[in-house]
Every structure is written in C-alpha cells, then in structure tokens.
Structure 1
Amino acid sequence: MTVKRFITALLAVVLAVPAGYVFGPALPSPAPAPAGWAAWLADPAHLPDPGAAPVATVSAFFAGLPHRRAAELARAYPDVVGNLDGAPIELRYAANRRQSPRWAGRQILALDMRGDGRIAEVLGDLRGATRVTVLVPGVDDTLGNFDTGHGGVLRRSPAWQARRLYERMRADQPDAHVAVVAWLGYDPPEGVRREALREERATAGARALDRFVDGLVTGRPGLAVTVVGHSYGSTVAGIAAPGLTGQVTDIVAIGSPGMGADRAADLNTSARVWAGTAPGDWTRRLPGLRVLGVGHGRLPIDPAFGALPLPCGNVDGHDGYFEPGSVALRAMASIGAGPAGDPR
C-alpha cells in the first residue's frame, strides 16, 4: 500500500460518507458469545467462566484436576479449552487438533474458525522456553490467509514471518531456549477504511493480547516476553502496553502507523520500546496525528516519540521486515532471544 493509495482511500471515505461516520463515536455491535461457552457454563461441574475468571484462576482450576478429567474437558469442549488462557499448553494443543484436522501436527494455542477467524501458532518448545516473542499482525490478516499472506503475498503471512524469526533466533543463538508465537487473536481491519483509521479494533485486540500474555507467564516468573507489532498490530501492542505484565521486557513496532500515544513514556510500560520503519514503507509518510478519534498519534520512529531505533535500512517496503538478510529481522531476533542487548 503506497501513501498515495492511503491518502486516496482516506479522502474517498471522508467524501463518500457523512463525516460523523468517520469521526464520530463508534457504535460496535455486540460480539457473539464465543463458540461452546454456553454449554461449558451450563456444565453441572461449575467450570470457570472463560470470559470473567482471571487467568490465574483458570490455571489453578486445571492444576487441581486429575489428568484424565482435564483430557475429558478438552474432548467435550475443544472450542473452549483450545482458546482458554491459563489452561495447560499441551491440553490446548490437543483441543485445537480436535477442532480441525487441518492444523494437525502444528502447535496451535488458539483457534476460532468463526468469521475471519482467530489463531495463535507456536514455533519452538513453549513449555521449555525462557524467552517468548509474540508477533501481532495488522490489516487484512485472517485465518484464511494465515499461511499464504493476504493478497497471496507469502511474506505477509504471519505463519511465515514467525518461522523466519524463529529460524533466525536459532541460527544466531542455538543454545537459547526460545519460542515464537504468531498471534492473530483479534479481528484486524479489512483494508484501509474507517476501522483502520480508528482504534476500536486495536482496543479490543489489546484486551485479548493482555490476557493471552498473562496466560503465557502465569506460574512462570522467569519467563521473559517480547511483543512485536507490525503495522496496525503495533497499534494493538501500544494500546495493550499499560496492561501487559512486567515480564514483557521489550515492545517492538515495525512499519507502524502509530501506537496510540505521542510518546513512549505515555505507554506506561516498564518494557523497552523499539521502533523501525523501512525507507520505502508508506507508513513513514503518514502525518502522525490523532484528530477526533481518527489516526494513531505520533509515529514511533519520530525522535520526539522516544523509542529506541530498530535498524531497517535494507528492508524492502511495508512487508519486508522478516525477509532473510533483513537487518530488522536480525535485530528482532537479538532482542527476542536475549540476553537483552542493544542491536543497534
């Protein structure tokens, strides 16, 4: 997407519909109850409420169950257990294999096939990892193009990007205990339209991301987490930042249209904040404003934002950050694999 196309799209939206549609308050329709929850909550065993129970409560519930009983719940309610932050990792893998044979043989930590879908795939040994990197993708990513990339462009694929990052980590630090998660756990905007110019989708995604990361670290005080947000995914990461556990050591924004703040300090996080944008990335030329709910604030590559600079000098366009040979890929691998250093 070029800046010209972005500006054209913005003008088209503003001119084609009442200004209130673009600039006015959002009126989201109520989200449908997640699949399987009604039956789960009606179970006479008084199972924890997946939407209300803290992650630590869910974790403690499963810790108190015999293995056989936990396996029975995964078989009876795969769509709940497979997406239940705080449930045991292997149990979630098993539940999601049961949900769909398409994902058999892969480590799927979350899977919802309704609508555009949700998915989280793990590369590496998540249980044995001491450092985990969570990739948050942006506009137009869906369950349907998770492997192929939207528009059929492979390097846009969250699954492909996660593999390239995991391989880079393993090549650079073969003794490091690392895992990478491609986390499409929210509903990104479809194209550069109203939803992409606003932050309602990012806010909903941020809540889900906070809970997901809580599920990763519960009972694992030594686990360090890096969050990498690409494009609109960086907006999700920025809005999530105040609610992310202190075990998140680094937040990385690449190709970012803004993180929902004008300064890194406004993210209210103890994590280091990094930002980098390719020389030819169209987001570099965005105005970096928020007006009446439209826009995502100052670009994080602006020195006034206060982020640490992530090298991106040889990155090709908006989707090239994970290409082999990319200096950004090597830098992200260095940050994610640790021990924490300065990849500049």
Structure 2
Amino acid sequence: MNRLWILSALLLTAPAMWLFGPTQAIAPAPPRYQEWLADARHLPDPATATTQQISAWFASLPPGEADALTEDYPEVVGNLDGVPVARRYAANRDPALPGRQILALDRRGDGLVAEVFGDLNTANRVAVLIPGVATELANFNTGLGGVRHRAPAWQARQLHDQLRTLDPGTPVAVIAWLGYDTPDAVRRDALREDSAASGALALERLVAGLTQDRPDRRITLIGHSYGSIVAAHAASRLGPQVTDIIAIGSPGMGVPDRAALHTSARLWAGSAPDDWTRRLPGVQIFGLGHGRLPVDPAFGALPLPCADTAGHDGYFQPGTRSLHAMARIALGQAVASEA
C-alpha cells in the first residue's frame, strides 16, 4: 500500500515539477570541449576562464601556435569569447558562406550562430539582436517558415543599413546573435524561462568579450519576443557599456517593472498594433508566463514608436518608425515620440 501511495504521489508531482519547477540556467559546453581539455598543451578551460584570461592567453601565443590551435580546434576557437575577432572569423569560415563574418557557429542540435555586419574591430557602437522562439541555424538566413523578414541575418542587415544612412561617419556594427537554444515553439518551454536564463549566461560572455579592451564602446541590446527575456535575465550583470535595452514584441520580461531589472541601461519597449503578444494576460504564476508586458505604461519602459509596424515580425522592415528609432537609439541619438 505504501508503495502504491508513493508511486501515485510521484505520478502526480512529476508533471507539476516539470511545469512549475525552479528556473535552471545551464551553460552549454562548446563543441569538442573534452578533447580541448585533454590536449597536452594545457589549454584554458572555456567553462571557467574569463574572456580577459582567454584574450591574454591567446595574445601570449606565437602566431604559429595560435594558427595551429585554430586549425586543430576550429569549433572551440570559433565560439570562444575573448579570442580575437579575425581569428574567430577564420575558424568559422564556411565555403558555403563566402565573405560572411561569422563570430560563432555550432552545428549541434538546432545550432547556434552569430553574424557580424560592419567592422567589429573599429566599431564604437554595437547593436546585438537577440531572436526568439523557434529560431535556429536552419532558418537564421531564410526566416521562420521561409519568411525573409523573420530571419535574424536579414534583420541585422536592415539595421546596419539604417545606421549607416543616419550616420555614415560613426563606426558601427550589428550582431545577429543566435547564441542560445531557443524554445522550439510557443508551448511549455516558451512559457518558462529556463532557455532565457541559459541564454543570459552566454550573452554576458558575449558582452564581456566585446568590452574587455574597449571600455569606451557602447552597446544596445535588442530582444525580439522571447529574446527580450534573455536580455532581462542578463541585465543586472552587464556593465555600464550596455546603455540601452530594447524589447520588441515582448511577451513579458519575467519581472514586474523596469526597476526590477536592476540595470543602469535605458529600457525601451515597443509593440505593433496587431502584434499577438498584446493579447497575452501579462501574468506569471508558479514560473509560467512572463509577467506584465513591458509596453504597459506601468512597467516603466520608454516607448518605442511602432504605430506603422505590422505583425509580430515587422520591426525591421525598411521605412518603419521602429527600425528608424532603434537605429537612433543605437547611435545615442534622441528618439521622437509616436505623436
């Protein structure tokens, strides 16, 4: 009888723990991690070494040794924040993608990838696009469902073009950053924040790598949909170089208001008039849901003009107020109100 009672209790509580258990942040190991650690050259541990330590270690290597290491472990070198940008591009070079500046590439599972538009070595201002649910390596260039304007690579290119149009003289770069395993669909995983918490760990390392030798660099994070939750989880642990966080089409950021993000960065929020996230209830119960929508005035975010934006994925369409405003924010320029 006791055994039956225990079994019944397990059957009842397991689904509840699956749904309502605590949020877990797991930093994935890079490809070929164990081989890298076992190498007789005593290579730095990507899981524990800071981006500053990685940078200093690579700088200490003779060019020939660094080249050999890149050739032996392109999967590790190409995904290691702190490694010189040019070396990461070389490690991630793909004959199928000639001329592309690929900052990270991991083909395992759904895949991870980050692409740079502009000169990241000279850029004073950098914008990082964080995509949302169901974005993966297979649709990074083509867009979810084959819809071009849903593709992070296309979106980043539009933002970079807008930046160059507004201010041709300022060195800028845009990173389309699929650096975390997004939820596969708008189901249980998308209602929880485990993916966001894990993504935040990777985002923190990205920002640390971008600013370690450039304390003057200014960074704008743009989180689309679930990507805004990734930015929210990382916000309190990012340095002052992150001056602005923009949430577009956000289902909530996992906190009740802007103050709960504990960041000095300005927070902007925008949502198209017909974006389906506007219909979400704005609640969070037992770890499900993401709380008040950041476009709610009570949240305390600055309003991003989106009156002429269409749908959940139209924020980067050329000619829209949303694209123009995001570019101005990334450049440190004033943004006109919706009126």
Indicate which of 291, 294, 302 corresponds to 1:308.
Answer: 302
Q: How does 1:280-295 map to 2 (within 5 A)?
A: 280-295=274-289
Asked whether 1:91 is paired with 2:81, we answer: no
Matched, 1:341 2:305: no
Displacement after TM superposition at 1:32 (Å): 6.8
* Deviation (angstroms), 1:59: 1.0
User: Partner of 1:157 in structure 2?
Assistant: 151
Hey, what's the Cα distance between the residues in 2 that align with 1:289 and 1:28? 20
SS state at 1:40 partner: helix
Residues 32, 275 of structure 1: CA spacing in aligned structure 2 closer, same or farther, 3 A cutoff? closer
Given residue 16 of structure 2, which amino acid in structure 1 is its aligned partner? G
Q: Is the 8 A contact 1:22 1:294 kept in 2?
A: no
Q: What is the correspondence of 1:116-135 to structure 2 with a 5 Å cutoff?
A: 116-135=110-129
> Do residues 167 (structure 1) and 161 (structure 2) align?
yes
Change (3 A) 1:276 1:114: same
Matched, 1:193 2:175: no
Residue aligning to 2:61: 65
Alpha-carbon spacing, 1:27–1:320, altered in 2? closer, same or farther (3 Å): closer
Normalised TM-score (structure 1): 0.91
Query: Is 2:284–2:290's contact at 8 Å kept on the other side of the alignment?
Result: yes
Q: Which residue of 2 aligns with 1:320?
A: 314
Relative to structure 1, is the Cα distance of residues 29 and 224 closer, same or farther in structure 2, using a 3 angstrom cutoff? closer
- Note if contact 1:22-1:194 (Cα within 8 Å) is conserved in structure 2: no
2:254 aligned partner, one-letter code: G
Residue of structure 2 in register with 1:143 after alignment: 137
- What CA deviation, in whole Å up to 9, does each residue of 1:230-262 have, x standing for no partner? 000001111110111221000000000011111
RMSD: 1.8
State the secondary structure of the residue aligned to 1:102: coil
Is residue 116–residue 142 contact of structure 1 (8 Å, CA) maintained in 2?
yes
Question: Cα distance, 1:34 vs. partner?
Answer: 2.9
Match for residue 103 of structure 2? 109
User: Is the contact made by 2:24 and 2:198 (CA closer than 8 Å) also made in structure 1?
Assistant: no
Hey, what's the Cα distance between the residues in 2 that align with 1:322 and 1:219? 30
Equivalents in 2 of 1:189, 1:269: separation in Å?
26
Q: Within 2, Cα distance between the matches of 1:327 and 1:24?
A: 39
Other structure's SS at 2:41 match:
coil
Do residues 260 (structure 1) and 254 (structure 2) align?
A: yes
Percent sequence identity over matched residues?
58
SS in 1 for 2:312: coil
2:222 maps to which residue? 228
2: CA distance, partners of 1:290 / 1:204: 19
TM-score (norm 2): 0.92
**DSSP 3-state at the match of 2:323:** helix
Q: Distance in 1 between matches of 2:49 and 2:62?
A: 20
| Bigger radius of gyration among the two | 2
What amino acid is the match of 2:331? A
1:304-343 deviations in whole A, cap 9, x for unaligned? 11001000000001010000111000000001123x4334
Question: CA-to-partner distance for each residue in 1:17-47, whole Å, 9 max, x for gaps?
Answer: 9862663216979887431211211122211
Cα distance in 2, alignment partners of residues 327 and 29 from structure 1: 35
Helix, strand or coil at the partner of 2:92: helix
2:238 counterpart of 1:244: yes
Write the distance in 1 (CA, Å) between the matches of 2:307 and 2:27. Answer: 41
The Cα offsets for residues 204-227 of structure 1, whole Å up to 9 and x where unpaired, read as 011111111111111111111000
Residue of structure 2 in register with 1:37 after alignment: 33
CA distance in 1, matches of 2:109, 2:193: 20
Describe the SS at the equivalent of 1:202.
helix
Aligned length: 325
Deviation digits for residues 99-153 of structure 1, max 9, x if unmatched? x422331000000000000000000000010000000000010000000101111
Which residue does the alignment assign to 1:9?
Answer: none
Deviation at 1:297, TM superposition (A): 1.3
Equivalent-residue separation in structure 1 for 2:176 and 2:96 (angstroms): 17
Instruction: Indicate the residue corresponding to 2:290 in structure 1.
Output: 296
Distance in 2 (alpha carbons) for counterparts of 1:310 and 1:31: 32
SS in 2 for 1:168: helix
Match of 1:13 in 2: none
Q: Is the 8 Å Cα contact of residues 139 and 191 (structure 1) preserved in structure 2?
A: yes
Contact 1:334 1:343 in 2 (8 A): no
Q: Measure, in 2, the Cα distance between the counterparts of 1:31 and 1:236.
A: 13
